[in-house]
Chains A and B, each alone.
Chain A
């Protein structure tokens, strides 16, 4: 299967602990996105990468959140000092974007998500 994969699928942690999620995008996709989804809501944009460069971060991404994509392939999203309000599904998506904005449809392909529960 060459789709987007995320790990772990579920994580339960205690408040104050650090957690890290990993995303492996579709191999030929150069754009990678992180979204957060809470119950009854649509995905909310967190950040995205063009290759290894993190080009935009949402105001939702506090300084406890950090994302990396060191070699332009897989990405990690780390949450430090987790809070109960961080409980959500963290979705990763990739697209075959281009340095020229808007070229091609560049639709997002999503992984299955990593569900975080902070106790």
Chain B
């Protein structure tokens, strides 16, 4: 459960969709999470998905989970400049949480 991987950077134009990808290793993960971190701040929970679900939609956010490939993605529709931040995926195994290195999303006006 300690190898959670994400691409480091993503750059999109305002109004476009952003897709941030993540792979994890522990098939016994119960929940998978997406957190957002703005400069100098702690992590803020965006959304989560239970491991027996394939998809979860929450306003502009769509989470897709492919358990077979251990692949998680976060889609942000109509990306805004305020969405610029670092996005972390995390897997929960029993009581411990493992985080990826984060994907820095840059939204160009």
Residues of A within 8 A of B (CB): 4, 31, 33, 35, 40-45, 48, 50, 55-56, 91, 93, 97, 101-102, 105-113
Contact residues of B: prevailing secondary structure: strand
Cβ contact within 8 Å between B95 and A97: yes
Give the distance to chain A from B90, nearest Cβ to Cβ, in Å.
Answer: 8
Cβ contact within 8 Å between A43 and B48: no
Beyond A107-B31, A113-B42, is A56–B101 a contact (Cβ under 8 Å)? Answer: no
Give the distance to chain B from A32, nearest Cβ to Cβ, in Å.
Answer: 11
Task: Indicate whether B45 reaches chain A with its CB closer than 8 angstroms.
Answer: yes
Task: Indicate whether B96 reaches chain A with its CB closer than 8 angstroms.
Answer: yes
Question: Which of B42, B97, B98, B100 is within 8 Å of A111, CB to CB?
Answer: B42
Give the distance to chain B from A76, nearest Cβ to Cβ, in Å.
Answer: 18
Cβ contact within 8 Å between A102 and B41: no
Question: Which of A33, A50, A91 is within 8 Å of B42, CB to CB?
Answer: A91
Residues of B within 8 A of A42 (CB): 4, 88, 90, 99-102
Residues of B within 8 A of A (CB): 4, 30-31, 33, 35, 40-45, 48, 50, 88, 90, 92, 94-102
Residues of B within 8 A of A56 (CB): 95-96
Cβ contact within 8 Å between A31 and B95: yes
Cβ contact within 8 Å between A107 and B48: yes
Beyond A43-B43, A91-B43, A112-B41, is A106–B101 a contact (Cβ under 8 Å)? Answer: no
Cβ contact within 8 Å between B94 and A107: no
Question: Which of B40, B94, B101, B102 is within 8 Å of A102, CB to CB?
Answer: B94
Contacts A/B (CB < 8 Å), 25 sampled = A4-B42, A35-B99, A40-B101, A42-B88, A42-B100, A42-B102, A43-B99, A45-B96, A45-B97, A48-B96, A50-B95, A91-B43, A93-B43, A101-B94, A101-B95, A102-B30, A102-B94, A105-B31, A105-B48, A105-B92, A107-B45, A108-B33, A108-B97, A110-B44, A112-B41
